[in-house]
Structure 1
Amino acid sequence: MRKILIVGAGQSGLQLALGLQSKGYDVTLMSNRTADEIRSGRVMSTQCMFDTALQHERDLGLNFWEPQAPRIEGLGVSVAAPDSSRAIDWVGKLRGFAQSVDQRVKMAGWMDAFARRGGQLVIHGAAVGDLDYFARGYDLVLIAAGKGELVSMFGRDASRSPYSEPQRALAVAYVHGLGPRPEHPEFDAVRCNVVPGVGELFVMPTLTTSGRADILFWEGVPGGPVDAFRGIKDPAEHLALTLRLMERFTPWEHARATKAELTDAGGTLAGRYAPTVRQPIGRLPGGGLVLGVADVVVANDPVTGQGSNAASKCAAAYLASIVEHGDRPFDEAWMRATFDRYWATARHITKWTNAMLGPLPEHVVDLLGAGGQLQPIADRFANGFDDPADFENFFFEPEKAAAYLASLTGA
């Protein structure tokens, strides 16, 4: 039985640990917090997982919350005009529903399941020196902890990382009491509200520790008016600022948030990080090699909602590579090939996300505008969140965008 150590108990680390466990591997999982500490702690993320990522969970029987979590059937885009009205507004329908489960619920539940099924769970923060000692007892060591000292083992890939500084200031609030959308209230949808030059506001239904809720998520351009959450520690103050900014920049969303209140004292989060692609292999002081997983090696800004989706896709790709490899050694060549297998998917996510962080080019604004009159454009854009590779066909290049528009209009 092959022994595998996974450091980090997020979407990718836990999904991979549970997947390997189901295949008969001897898996040790290291986490710096217990399940109860995660469950009762602060929110860790926003997340909206689309059909492909959800299917990876279903394939492993890990979709524990599918009956309770809201079924998200659409994705809407609004673009603010200078007078704070909506210059663009539409909702695209998803082919397969999406869902959001608060990671405090999911990670704690998955961690309990891993331990209940006989997995070795070690609650301990890991430093590079610790890993140097531990690694000798395992056939493979995977690093899935995207923050802290361990990430420093993986060098930045400058050729794939155009940004060296954070491109957005992030502020999250989980709330109860949000009113329904006036447009298409009959189904749940994620709302992406673009305020040119200022940032984006995302509103998404979720399942949290206290049941159905909604996430209000500001992405502010650094130095702009939405970059205002640094230093705010009081959750009530955080929510009040979130709502004031909504009233100013997205009044159509604020109109349904007048009775919003935080789900719990841990329901807010703020921060920023530079989107970065790193080298996939880390070298321990004693010479051992470790393989980076998900946002350890490909960390994109959340502006396209791809974090948990990418983590799920990475875990699925790595699981397949490990199982297919059989009893052969997990050497450097295998590690590089395993990452390349994931990068074939992740490169589309990274390209699209980085494009959305800059000013939108004219042909993209034209496409978004046409989505209000041509439902196939709205639907295709919405489903690109599940399969970002499709954006290569109509989004990046003006010529392809024009050809796509012409195919719909006959012009």
Structure 2
Amino acid sequence: MRKILIVGAGQSGLQLALGLQSQGYEVTLMSNRTADEIRSGRVMSTQCMFHTALQHERDLGINFWESQAPRIEGLGVSVAGPESQRVIDWVGKLDGIAQSVDQRVKMAGWMETFAQRGGQLVIHGAAVSDLDFFSRTYDLVLVSAGKGELVSMFGRDASRSPYDAPQRALAVAYVHGLGPRPEHPDFDAVRCNLIPGVGELFVMPTFTTSGRADILFWEGIPGGPLDAFQGIKDPAEHLSLTLELMEKFTPWEYARATKVELTDAGGTLSGRYAPTVRNPIGRLPGGGLVLGVADVVVANDPITGQGSNSASKCAAAYLSSIVEHGDKPFDEAWMQSAFDRYWDTAQHVTKWTNAMLGVPPEHVLNLIGAAGQLQPVADRFANGFNNPADFENFFFDPALTEAYLAEVAGASGASASE
């Protein structure tokens, strides 16, 4: 039986550990926190998972919260114009539902399941020196802990990392009491509010430790008016500032947020990081090799909501690569090929996310505007969040965008510029 060590118990590490366990591998999972510490700790993310990523969980039978989490059926975009009035507002319908489960709930539950199924769970914050030892006792060591000393083993890939500094300041609040969206009170949707030159507000339904909730998530351009959360430690102050900025920049969202309260004392999060692609293979002082997973090797800004989706897709790709490899050694060539398999999908996420961080070109503004008149455009844009590779066909190239809009407008008998 092949022995595999996974360091880091997030979406990718746990999904991969449970997948390998189901295939009969002897898996050790190393986490720096217990399940109870995760469950009672601070929120970790703003996850919204779309159909493909959710299906990976269903395939492994670990979609434990699917019946409890809100069914997200759409994705909407609003654009703020002068005097904080909406100049664009639409919602696209998703082909398959999306869902968000607070990672405190999911990771704690998955960790307990892994241990109950006989997995070796080690609570220890691993250092490089630990991995040097473990690399000699395991057939394969995977690093899925996306922060701290271990990440430094994986060198930055400058050719795939156009930014060397954070492009957004991030601020998250989990709340109860958000009113229904008046434009579509009969179904849930993720809402993306774009404030040109300032940043973005995302609002998404979620399932947390206390049941149904909503996530209010600001992404502010550094140095701008939304970059205001540094140094705020008090959760109540964090929420107050969140709402104050909503009232100023997105009054249509603030109108349904006047009665919200935090889900719990750990329901806020703020920070920033530079989006980075790293080399997938880490070299240990003793000569051993380790393979980076998900955020360790491809860390995108959350502006396109792809973090947990990418983590799930990475775990699924690596699981297939490991199982297909059989009893052959997990050498450097195999590690590179496993990453390349994941990069086939991850490259589209990185390209699209980095594009959304910049100033949108005219043809992209035309596309977002046209979606307000042409429902097929809104639906296709929304479903790109599940399959970012499709953006290659109609988003990046002005000629492709123009041809696509003309085609849809012609089919509907409308003008794309109406």
The interval holding the TM-score normalised by the smaller chain is over 0.9
Distance 1:408 1:99 in 2: 29
Q: Secondary structure at the match of 2:256?
A: coil
Q: Which amino acid aligns with 2:329?
A: P
Q: Which amino acid aligns with 1:404?
A: Y
Distance 2:292 2:92 in 1: 35
The CA deviation string for residues 79-134 of structure 1, in whole angstroms up to 9 with x for no partner, is: 00021010100000000000000000000000000000000000000000111112
Give the structure 2 partner of residue 298 of structure 1. 298
Give the structure 1 partner of residue 288 of structure 2. 288
1:401 corresponds to 2:404: no
1:190 corresponds to 2:196: no
Distance 2:333 2:92 in 1: 42
Give the structure 1 partner of residue 24 of structure 2. 24
Give the structure 2 partner of residue 313 of structure 1. 313
The CA deviation string for residues 113-162 of structure 1, in whole angstroms up to 9 with x for no partner, is: 00000000000000001111122110000000000000000000000000
Give the structure 2 partner of residue 253 of structure 1. 253
TM-score normalised over the length of structure 1: 1.00
Give the structure 1 partner of residue 351 of structure 2. 351
1:153 corresponds to 2:153: yes
Q: Secondary structure at the match of 2:122?
A: strand
In angstroms, what is the RMSD of aligned CA positions?
Answer: 0.5
Q: Which amino acid aligns with 2:127?
A: A
1:3 corresponds to 2:12: no
Q: Which amino acid aligns with 1:361?
A: P
Q: Secondary structure at the match of 1:345?
A: helix
Q: Which amino acid aligns with 2:131?
A: L
1:33 corresponds to 2:71: no
| Identical-residue share of aligned pairs (%) | 84
User: Which deviates more from structure 2 when the two are superposed, residues 79-88 or residues 301-310?
Assistant: 79-88
- Superposed, 1:185-224 pairs within 5 Å as 185-224=185-224
1:127 corresponds to 2:127: yes
The CA deviation string for residues 8-56 of structure 1, in whole angstroms up to 9 with x for no partner, is: 0000000000000000000000000000000000000000000000000
Give the structure 2 partner of residue 385 of structure 1. 385
Distance 1:106 1:58 in 2: 14
Aligned pairs, how many? 411
1:340 corresponds to 2:340: yes
Distance 1:409 1:128 in 2: 57
Q: Which amino acid aligns with 1:7?
A: V
Give the structure 2 partner of residue 244 of structure 1. 244
Q: Secondary structure at the match of 2:84?
A: coil
Distance 2:409 2:285 in 1: 61
Distance 1:170 1:41 in 2: 19
Give the gaps of 5 or more residues in structure 1. none
User: Which deviates more from structure 2 when the two are superposed, residues 192-201 or residues 126-135?
Assistant: 126-135
Q: Which amino acid aligns with 1:24?
A: G
1:53 corresponds to 2:53: yes
Distance 1:277 1:398 in 2: 27
Cα distance, 1:383 vs structure 2: 0.1
Cα distance, 1:409 vs structure 2: 1.6
The CA deviation string for residues 148-207 of structure 1, in whole angstroms up to 9 with x for no partner, is: 000000000000000000000000000000000011110000000000000000000000
Give the structure 2 partner of residue 171 of structure 1. 171
Q: Which amino acid aligns with 1:134?
A: F
Distance 1:408 1:43 in 2: 41
